[in-house]
Amino acid sequence: MAKTVQTIITECLQELNEELENPNLEKITPQTKIFGGNGALDSLALVSFITDIEEHISNEFNQEIVLADEKAMSAKTSPFRNVESLTAYIESLLEK
């Protein structure tokens, strides 16, 4: 499941970067910073990215998830800081 989730995240970042042309998103790894300090996305791009991820996850796993909930936004360590942390967070939501 982790590999599929990470692939979805990577593909969504690549699609978004076609518009953004951010050099930080040219080579995406598990440590690629998404949001926050030195993150590749600003708040508007993050909203678009979250929507894309939720849609792709729904199509792939036939399960609805909400990434921008109170738990995620109030977490001491944001799940949106990098690809690896977001992958783990999405996995935890899918296992519920």
For range 33-62, the mean pLDDT: 94
Is the per-residue pLDDT at 57 higher than 90? Answer: yes
Residues 6+ apart with CB under 8 A from 16: 25, 41, 45, 48, 49, 52
Is the per-residue pLDDT at 86 higher than 80? Answer: yes
Residues 6+ apart with CB under 8 A from 15: 52
Expressed as residue numbers, the domain containing 83 is 2-94
Tokens in use for 14? 């690549």
What residue type is assigned to position 18 of the chain? E
How many domains does the chain contain in total?
1
Confidence of residue 71 (pLDDT cuts 50, 70, 90): confident
The Cα 1–Cα 10 span in angstroms is: 14
Q: Is the pTM of this model over 0.95?
A: no
Q: Quick one: pLDDT at residue 35?
A: 93
The Cα 36–Cα 26 span in angstroms is: 18
For range 56-66, the mean pLDDT: 96
Count Cβ atoms within 10 A of the Cβ of residue 20 and give its class: 0-12 exposed, 13-18 middle, 19 or more buried.
middle
Tokens in use for 92? 């935890």
The CATH number of the domain where 48 resides is what? Answer: 1.10.1200.10
